[in-house]
Amino acid sequence: MNELWSGSAAAILPVADLARAVAFYRGIGFDVDESDAGAYAFVESGGTRFHLSESPGFDPFVNAGMVYLYVDDPDAVHAMLGIEDLRLDHAALVKRWRRGESLARIRPVRDEPWGTREFSFADPDNNLVRVGTRLVR
């Protein structure tokens, strides 16, 4: 292992409305540390840390981020989140965004052919967070 890369990492997720994003992540169990700059916040739970960056002109269908979180029990995390399972097509999501509504949604947990048990959720700004664990083969 290359020791130069042995530190920790944090995804920087773009958001249109920092207050809404902070409320969402706080609502799913993250602690929040808002910066003095007003357009940036840190959210953390356990060893998982994200930076939220308010981005003027942000387009959630062009600039959204993605991150994969490894956890021991994706089923337990899924059950804890309490995010609505919206089955919307792209056009319906665009309409929600134009009305100023959240794009948050979640997918069911399932075993994937590449050897993980995982699910994904999107935050209010369409950033995709995949949560899973490797299956023992």
Angle, vertex CA 20, rays to CA 25 and CA 121, nearest 5:
45
Provide the sign of the torsion angle of the four alpha carbons 43, 89, 80, 48, taken in this order: negative
Give the pTM: 0.86
Q: Which of 132, 134, 107, 111 is nearest to 121 (CA)?
A: 107
**Confidence at residue 89, expressed as pLDDT on a 0 to 100 scale:** 85
Query: What would the pLDDT profile of 40-71 be if each residue is shown by its tens digit?
Result: 999 999 889 999 999 988 899 988 899 999 99
In the chain, where the domains are located: 3-134
**Confidence at residue 82, expressed as pLDDT on a 0 to 100 scale:** 81
Residue 1 banded pLDDT, cuts 50, 70, 90: low
36 vs 32, higher pLDDT: 32
Residue 6 banded pLDDT, cuts 50, 70, 90: low
Mean predicted confidence (pLDDT) in 108-136? 94
Give the DSSP letter of residue 38.
S
CATH classification code of 3-134:
3.10.180.10
Query: What would the pLDDT profile of 69-108 be if each residue is shown by its tens digit?
Result: 999 999 999 998 888 777 778 898 899 899 988 888 899 9
The amino acid at 121: F
**21-30, 55-64, 123-132: the lowest-pLDDT one:** 55-64
Residues belonging to the chain? 137
